[in-house]
Amino acid sequence: MRVVLVSGGVISGVGKGIIASSSGLLLKTLGLRVTAQKLDPYLNTDAGLLNPLEHGECFVLADGGETDLDLGNYERYLGIQLSNESNMTTGKIYKLVLDKERRGDYLGKTVQVVPHITDAMQEWIERVAKIPVDDSGEEPDVCIIELGGTVGDIESAPFIEALVQLRHRLGRENFFSIAVSYVPIINGEEKTKPTQHAIKQMRMAGLIPDMVACRCERELDDGTIQKIARSCQVEYEQVIGVRDMETIYQVPLLLEQEGLLKQLRKGLALDNTTLPPARVQKGQALWDIWTKTVSPKHHLQPVNIALVGKYVTLDDAYLSVHKALEHSAMRCGRKLNLVSVDSEHLEHDMQQKDPTKYHNAWKALCEAEGIIVPGGFGSRGVEGMIETTKWARERKVPFLGICLGLQVAVMEYARNIMGLKDATSEEISAHAEHRVIIFMPEGSKEQMGGTMRLGTRTSHFKPGTEWSKLRAMYGGADVVEERHRHRYEVNPEYIEDLENAGLSVTSLDDQGVRVETIELKDHPFFVGLQAHPEFTSKVLSPSPALLGFVAASAGCFNEISKAAPKKELLVNGASDASF
């Protein structure tokens, strides 16, 4: 078992996830099988109940695990499918140990952080690192581990102790530690003192860095790198600068140029590993495709997309949507120009409260070539989303509604086409006459965590939907699997009335009851999905739903849809999950 640990100091949010994902990609280009884990020191059991405005989006895995958003980066970069156990939290590990204590597994011993918690962490890491994550069904060769937060935080201490012990047990040639630090620039001068203190703190904790990755806005001066190497007791080659790039997808190219892959080969003794020629060739092909796809392309025509949501003050709240749109724009040969619009600013009463916000929001909508309404919870901003949907429907602007976006599209259609003026969601009004959106039958209103409809679910396109633009993007497949995360869904009692009024329900669930997708036939692109297709989008394999939306917005839908892979079943919306 080989491990690459990515940890950070100075500040959080410095880019550990992208560096971890990029490191995994570089190893994969050698032909190695790579998996990934995220260790989060917070006490929550999972990310399901974390506020997206504070923590960013909750990423949903195929098995229904609600995890940290960095697992999305791993899947997008590496083309792998992780499990709920790939995200270890303090809450999960303490619950595991306490459950064992209650069963009497420790035979009356005093249960302590060391050795019981730290041993449980190591056992968890080693067990999950052996789980196959790609179509080969074989055990991975290398596990990328990202330690959340910053070294020195009180809550990180047990994780660091466990990792120090793991390094000792595995041996130096099987454990490579990358310390990520931030180099601020003040009055033009690159300051190394924060990095010196961060590495000193890591060494005191027992984490010996094999490489120091210095995040910075610009390329570091050679003198700065020499100073960091000298003060942190590492060789000059073990310090690399990770400057801001045009896109995050170019970071692997930068890291390879800076010598990371060379250091990984040396530190993990990879040159002593013999791989089948087919795997080596596949790795090289992956690198060639990646390089060709993400290389800077100038003078691309922009495609203007408006994202109308509730959590737009933090970009990470809709991270997977942003990335899926980027993947799709790259495939279409366009430059994504994404404008985030707060749905509350589109509501009529905002015209009186703050005319400037109201004007700017509607200006962005008027200039958009495509409009997307992503998921969310609660009643705030829903009326603005309904107004958005009406605008897109009436003016024939390409529209994609995801989860809540589908639900508001149904509410808007029921109100303005079917004449049900009070049509709403049970989430907004539990006693309204026309609740076209209802609480799902098996849900719980008492227990919040993990009680939604989560993970991969199957959608069956109905007979007679061969015209469907969404179905065309899935290669004409009869059955599609996508990931879900919702408590509310379309009321089955209104399906017939909606269809009679012209809103097509194009696919249903396994039982033929739940609405999975809706479309308007006489519209350039008007699609709603109860699923979250953004979670399965990959850099080299964009989500069919979002790719179709961006293509329609860019005016190249026919060209893109004809190139869609022809398959009877598309699992997780991806045509080649393993690249």
Which residue numbers are catalytic?
A: 403, 532, 534
- Answer whether 486's CB lies under 8 Å from 375's CB: yes
Q: What's the CA gap between 339 and 302, in Å, rounded?
A: 12
How far is residue 354's CA from residue 213's CA, in Å, rounded to a whole number? 45
If DSSP codes are grouped into helix, strand and coil, which group holds residue 296? coil
Q: Phi/psi of residue 302, each to 5°?
A: -75, 155
The secondary structure of 128-159 as a DSSP string is: HHTS--STT----SEEEEEE-S-TT-GGGHHH
Asked if 533 contacts 573 with a C-beta cutoff of 8 angstroms, the reply is yes
DSSP 449-476: TT-SEEEEEEEEEPTT-TT-HHHHHTTT
Q: Please give the Cα distance from 555 to 392 (Å, whole number).
A: 16
Distance CA 366, CA 241 (A): 42
d(CA 251, CA 246): 9
C-alpha closest to that of 403 among 475, 315, 293, 309: 309
Enter the tokens of residue 78: 């590496």
CB atoms within 10 A of CB 300: 14
**Phi, psi at 183, each rounded to 5°:** -110, 100
Dihedral (Cα; 169, 172, 174, 178), 10-degree rounding:
110
* Phi and psi at residue 312, to the nearest 5°: -75, -10
In degrees and rounded to multiples of 5, residue 572 shows phi and psi of 55, 25
Using N-to-C axis directions, what is the helix angle for 355-367 and 382-394, rounded to 10°? 40
